[in-house]
Amino acid sequence: MSDQINDSRRSFLSKAAVAGSITIAPGVFLHQTAQAKPDDQAVSNKTRWGMLIDTDKCAKGCTGCVDACNSEHGLTGNNRPESDTQYIRKVSLVEKQTKHEISLPMMCQHCETAPCVDVCPTGASFKREDGIALVDKHICIGCRYCMMACPYKARSFVHEDVENQTLSAPRGKGTVEACTMCVHRVDKGGIPACVEACTNDDHNAMVFGDLNDENSEISKQLKKHGGKQIRADLQLNTGVRYQGI
């Protein structure tokens, strides 16, 4: 009797484990996120966070990643496109010779040798050990030299009072800001909002992961298919790579 119960329990548990694995697997294996880091533990350069974007999968006209980013960081805008902040934008490209069309998301490329970090007079622009470029809003004086220096136009200046701030993304009038690679999520073992939105929309054009971990999905894909840097001539060793350009 007890053996029968054990058999049935074993069978139930193993089926549940399989079902559970199928449910959780995409989150674990496709995105290859790191384990949540304890708050008191410093980031280390053993990890280099990066992103791989497959432009062939990036749907024209889709702004899922942009909408998710805006919502995540409370970027409501003031209907002034020239001065409103954009962390991520969709860029349409047409090759002049062949007329080949490409659509891709563009954001801070989290360069290893970031020009924004080099030029910042106070050190407000800085890089974490794990490769994420950030702005320390407490010591940014709003000189905008980093915006002059960024080769990707990835940074925005906060031109007016900000409202509806989210707890995880503090902003401030008169300082410069940009994509944080959703550092608040990443530090808790999550993935950036844009990548999550792209996956949820079933486009799967964006992969996030550790470039230093050769077993991560991003490293495997980069090894197999390659990935280009935008403005590779500048040799900035960007954390964001693209396929199909």
Partner 1 sequence: MKKIEYTKIKGHSIPYYGLLGGLGFTILLGLLSTWYMEHNGHHVTGMTNQIVWGMPHVFAIFLIIAASGALNVASIASVFGKKIYDPLSRLSALLAIALLAGGLVVLLLDLGRPDRLIVAITTYNFKSIFAWNIILYTGFFAIVGAYIWMMMDHNMYKFKKKVGLLAFVWRLILTTGTGSIFGFLVARSAYDAALMAPMFIIMSFAFGLSIFILVLMAAYNWTGRELGDAVIARLRSLLGVFVASVLYFTIVYHVTNLYITEHHGVEAFILRDGGIYTNLFWFGQILLGGLLPLALIYAPGVKTCRTTLGAICTMIIIGGMCQVYVILIGGQAYPMEIFPGYEVSSSFFDGMVNSYSPTLPEIILGISGMAVSMLLVTFAIKVLSFLPTSLADSIADPHAAK
- Nearer to partner 1 among residue 22 and residue 94 (C-beta): 94
Residue choice 173, 223, 225, 228 for contact with partner 1 (CB under 8 A): 173
Residue type, 204: N
- Nearer to partner 1 among residue 74 and residue 151 (C-beta): 151
Considering the complex, what minimum distance in angstroms separates the CB of residue 115 from partner 1?
6
Considering the complex, what minimum distance in angstroms separates the CB of residue 197 from partner 1?
17
Using alpha carbons, select from 91, 93, 125 the residue that is nearest to residue 111. 125
Contact yes or no for 124/139 (Cβ under 8 A): yes
- Nearer to partner 1 among residue 7 and residue 101 (C-beta): 101
Query: According to the binding rule CB under 8 A, does residue 78 interact with partner 1?
Result: yes
**CA 245, CA 241: separation in Å to the nearest integer?**
10
Dihedral, CA atoms, 53, 54, 55, 56, nearest 10 degrees? Answer: -170
Site for partner 1 in 211-230 (CB under 8 A): 230
Contact yes or no for 238/229 (Cβ under 8 A): yes
**CA 60, CA 91: separation in Å to the nearest integer?**
9
Considering the complex, what minimum distance in angstroms separates the CB of residue 27 from partner 1?
30
| Contact string 132-171 vs partner 1 (x = CB under 8 A) | -------xxxxxxx-xxxxxxx-xxxxxxx----------
Query: According to the binding rule CB under 8 A, does residue 86 interact with partner 1?
Result: yes
Residue type, 228: K
Which structure tokens are listed for 210?
Answer: 């550790």
Residue choice 10, 15, 225, 231 for contact with partner 1 (CB under 8 A): 231
Query: According to the binding rule CB under 8 A, does residue 232 interact with partner 1?
Result: no
Its sign, for the CA torsion 79, 82, 83, 89, is positive
Q: Output the CA–CA distances (angstroms, integers) from residue 134 to 159, 168, 205, in the order listed.
A: 19, 14, 24
β-pairing verdict for 49-54 and 240-243: parallel
- Nearer to partner 1 among residue 17 and residue 91 (C-beta): 91
- Nearer to partner 1 among residue 51 and residue 117 (C-beta): 117
- Nearer to partner 1 among residue 33 and residue 109 (C-beta): 109
Which structure tokens are listed for 30?
Answer: 């496709």
Query: According to the binding rule CB under 8 A, does residue 74 interact with partner 1?
Result: no
Residues lying near partner 1 in the complex (CB under 8 A)? 66, 78, 80-86, 89-97, 102, 106, 115, 117-123, 139-145, 147-153, 155-161, 173-176, 230-231, 234, 245
